[in-house]
Structure 1
Amino acid sequence: MTAPTAPGTRRPSSLEDVKGWFPPLDQVLFARFLTRQERLGERGDLLEMGAYLGKSAIFTAAFRRPEERFTVCDLFDADAPDEHNAAEARKSYATLTRVAFEQNYLAFHDELPYIVQGPTSEVPGHVEPGSCRFVHVDASHLYEHVAADIVNARAALLPHGVVALDDFRSEHTPGVSAATWEAFFTGGLRPVCLSTQKFYGTWGDPEPLQEELLATTEWREGLRMSVQEIAGQRVLRFSGRPRRPAAVPVSRFAAAVPGPAPEPVAAPAAAPRPVPPGAGRRVARELLPPIVTRALRRRMRAGRP
């Protein structure tokens, strides 16, 4: 598929070139959950509600199997369903267009995901209940919308599925915090772990996920971890800056790696220039004091050396 062209944008040569909020810590955690599901043979589709310019969607798509569907829902440049949502879009996502998303995505993948351009309330009409193994919620920050997105995520997930809720603790997104912890206290959502940006949970049993995160240490290089308890529920908390996971997709527009520079070739030595007759005397006249040069001229006229 040929990537569309968004006016005034360039094709990304790496995931870092794609604007968005998807730090290395969350890339590592996404990779841990998604590769675990693959290793255990857990099948299911993938869903992202709120994609912005595609950074996390590009990463998630690297884990999609051929028989699975990846659904991405975003307003992009469509009209918002209400004025509050429209004001939020004007403030935070004024430059977002579907063309820009597609251009970024197709720089890394051959085919686009299944795109639902519209509010996330349309997701149930496109995603079968109990069909997804992983859902990423990063759409509106308004409480009513986030609460509905969490309900839709639960309906879409398989019993062992994992949900990642973005911006659950940011000071500018209290609606996300309220909806997230409401789902925890009253909606059966059980925490697996927290990053500095996302809440990872399941409506299944979180213990096997947590035990695997605790059992292996090499992936936690560069991370700080603590184990806490909230209302009788264990939750792991991670922070820091880990090494980037090996699963980061590569852009088809990645710059070529330069080869070794050629060895410098020494220039041939220049032949000595002949010294014209009388050059020594002329230099002497220019450099020596006048009294000395006059004495030299007298000696030369007298024929003495």
Structure 2
Amino acid sequence: MEAAVPTIETAAAHPAPLNRDDIPGWFFRLDRAAFAHLLCAQSAAGVTGDILELGSYLGRSAVLLGDHLRPGERLTVCDLFDSDAGDADNAAEMAMSYRKTLTRSAFEANYLAFHTELPEIVQAPTSVLADGRIPAGSCRFVHVDASHLYEHVAGDIAVARAALGEHGLVALDDYRSEHTPGVSAAVWEAVFTGGLRPVLLTPMKFYGTWGDAAAAREVLLGRDWRADGYTVDEDTIAGTRVLRLNYQVKAPVQQSTPRRLALELLPPVATRATRRVLRTLRERRAVRPVQGA
């Protein structure tokens, strides 16, 4: 395992987050719930294996993955962090998205705020993992959230397939975003030509397996997602049933007639200010603590 506790200088530069939501990133509540449910179910069923993350940014998802390590299991994360990209296209993507904020020291400080030991860190392009350093079949869960370029994602999917054991699951980020068509191409290519079976779709992530998709789907159906504020739908893709989870949409709040008339009669500037105050009050009332990374 690489690295030790960050130095005083590092700690000063990267204050420890007070809670997991303080870690910057795009790992949202629904996927935190899905990760936690699937990982807990694996442990409960006696499925063992390491966990691998390709693309870690500042640790928002890695912290949650570390929560679910069992004795004898290890978490490996691979990211460029401060290193230069190996090709011009990848470098351009980094410069456009997150180059200024992505540092290894920030990741380490965030992770150590919630765990006593760092994961195994591979500071390099994810393509280096194709060299076999991750033993074949050694992992039970792989999270892919590195490059958005087709060639890189296709390579990451191949790494995930080799690393996963019989009951392993892969989560692939940004499979449907309009700015990441390369991810979509690689994911659906893996489904239609590479034997990847879809299990679950969320707004941000595709979950699949090269093992028993029906068993993984039943694990998901063991939770009452609707009671937790989510919608559950089902589709069939390439002959495989797949679940879709999303956030429940709250019905619009109906304003009383006096309030509506008051807003209509106020000057535009006052109306905008009033609406901002009312929106802020509604958001504060809607905030509830959630678990996750």
TM-score (norm 2): 0.81
Aligned mates of 2:130, 2:137 — CA distance in 1:
11
- AA aligned to 2:76 is T
Deviation of the 1:159 alpha carbon: 1.3
Aligned mates of 1:100, 1:79 — CA distance in 2:
17
Residue from 88, 91, 102 that aligns with 2:93 = 88
Deviation of the 1:90 alpha carbon: 1.0
Look up the SS of the partner of 2:142 in the other structure: strand
- The answer to whether the aligner puts 1:33 opposite 2:43 as a matched pair is no
Write out per-residue CA displacement over residues 250-296 of structure 1, whole angstroms, 9 at most, x where no aligned residue. Answer: xxxxxxxxxxxxxxxxxxxxxxxxxxxxxxxxxxxxxxxxxxxxxxx
Aligned mates of 1:202, 1:218 — CA distance in 2:
21
Listed as ranges, the matches of 1:67-106 within 5 Å are 67-94=72-99, 95-106=101-112
Shift of the 63–244 alpha-carbon distance from structure 1 to 2, 3 Å rule, reads: farther
Bigger helix share: 2
Give the share of equivalent positions with the same residue, in percent.
57
Question: Higher mean Cα deviation, 106-115 or 228-237?
Answer: 228-237
Aligned mates of 1:21, 1:151 — CA distance in 2:
24
Residue from 146, 156, 160 that aligns with 2:163 = 156
- Aligned residue pairs, count: 248
**Residue 45 of structure 1 corresponds to which residue in structure 2?**
50
**Residue 234 of structure 1 corresponds to which residue in structure 2?**
241
- The answer to whether the aligner puts 1:167 opposite 2:174 as a matched pair is yes
Shift of the 141–244 alpha-carbon distance from structure 1 to 2, 3 Å rule, reads: farther
Listed as ranges, the matches of 1:288-299 within 5 Å are none
Write out per-residue CA displacement over residues 49-99 of structure 1, whole angstroms, 9 at most, x where no aligned residue. Answer: 000000000011000113011100000010111000011111112221101
Listed as ranges, the matches of 1:68-217 within 5 Å are 68-94=73-99, 95-125=101-131, 126-217=133-224
Q: Which has the larger radius of gyration?
A: 1
Shift of the 139–218 alpha-carbon distance from structure 1 to 2, 3 Å rule, reads: closer
Shift of the 86–110 alpha-carbon distance from structure 1 to 2, 3 Å rule, reads: same
Write out per-residue CA displacement over residues 191-230 of structure 1, whole angstroms, 9 at most, x where no aligned residue. Answer: 0010110000000011011123224316752001111111
Aligned mates of 1:241, 1:53 — CA distance in 2:
29
Aligned mates of 1:88, 1:10 — CA distance in 2:
27
Runs of 4+ with >6 A deviation: 241-245
Question: Higher mean Cα deviation, 124-133 or 6-15?
Answer: 6-15
Task: Supply the RMSD in Å over aligned alpha carbons.
Answer: 1.8
Deviation of the 1:6 alpha carbon: 5.7
Residue from 1, 16, 21 that aligns with 1:16 = 21
**Residue 224 of structure 1 corresponds to which residue in structure 2?**
231
- AA aligned to 1:2 is V
Aligned mates of 2:93, 2:30 — CA distance in 1:
27
Question: Higher mean Cα deviation, 211-220 or 87-96?
Answer: 211-220
Question: Runs of 5+ in structure 2 lacking a partner?
Answer: 250-287
- AA aligned to 1:10 is P
Aligned mates of 1:219, 1:68 — CA distance in 2:
32
- AA aligned to 1:81 is G
TM-score (norm 1): 0.77
- AA aligned to 1:238 is L
Aligned mates of 2:140, 2:32 — CA distance in 1:
17
Write out per-residue CA displacement over residues 235-263 of structure 1, whole angstroms, 9 at most, x where no aligned residue. Answer: 100000698765x36xxxxxxxxxxxxxx
Look up the SS of the partner of 1:169 in the other structure: coil
